Structure 1
Amino acid sequence: MADREMLVTTTENIPGRKYEIIGEVFGLTTQSKNFVKNFGAGLKSVVGGEIHSYTKMLEDSRNQALERLRQAAEDKGADAIVMMRFDSSSISGDMQSVVAYGTAVRFIADNE
């Protein structure tokens, strides 16, 4: 699988492919907010607008969770992941947790 990137889809079916279900897989990361950026974000909340440092942190977290999801599926011998979803939550106000989850599948030949 290292030669190509694993297919990850939010759909249940992959058109033209038959597969067997291996099981659920997860990729999780938790990030802490930077104190200096947190202070700047507090000031930004007074005047309004996007808090770019938090947006970047969440984007990086999603990418890391997705990479860990792919690795978990690869470790189980999967060819793809279907029904992928993201979920996120705050922990104690200064940490953000992001999880990517889905179902790992292995492709099967039409004659099986």
Structure 2
Amino acid sequence: MLISTTENIGKNYEVLGEVFGVTTQSRNIGSNISASLKNLVGGEIKGYTQMLHNSREESIGRMKKEAENKGADAIVMMRFDSGSIGSDMQSVVAYGTAVKFNQ
């Protein structure tokens, strides 16, 4: 399935509606300890980076599944949104517009 951040994908299509996928991940104790140490010396917190990467992939997969259930051929205008829940959880949402190609 084509997933694009743009509206114009070079094909005519019918809009089926909004689709989204959401996931919430918690940081593990090892990442929390590493983050505390990195606060002192600086640098990338690889455990958090990996968690956010995995969250984005999971949210895209869920959005894609919802679009497939609507009979979509593509998703246009895809975006991400994210936010913290408490001090140790991160929520990531992928959303866009499901479309069906005109024949």
Q: TM-score range with shorter-chain normalisation? A: over 0.9
Partner residue in 1 for 2:85: 91
- 5+ unaligned residues in a row in structure 2: which ranges? none
Task: Give matches, 1:1-16, under 5 Å.
Answer: 6-15=1-10
The percentage of aligned residue pairs carrying the same residue is: 63
Shift, 1:39, TM fit:
1.2
Instruction: Kindly report the root-mean-square deviation, in angstroms, between the aligned alpha carbons of the 2 structures.
Output: 0.6
Question: What are structure 1's unaligned runs of at least 5 residues?
Answer: 1-5
Q: Which residue of 2 aligns with 1:3?
A: none
Structure 1 runs of 4+ with >3 Å offset: none
C-alpha separation in 2, matches of 1:92 and 1:103: 30
Task: State the one-letter code of the partner of 2:12.
Answer: K
Q: TM (normalized to structure 1)?
A: 0.90
Q: Deviation string for 1:61-108 (max 9, x for gaps)? A: 000000111001001100000000001000001000000000000001
Q: Superposition pairs for residues 29-108 of structure 1, below 5 Å?
A: 29-108=23-102
Structure 1 residue 36 displacement after superposition:
2.2
Q: Using the alignment, how far apart are the partners of 2:50 and 2:31 within structure 1? A: 11
Cα separation, 2, equivalents of 1:35 and 1:11:
39
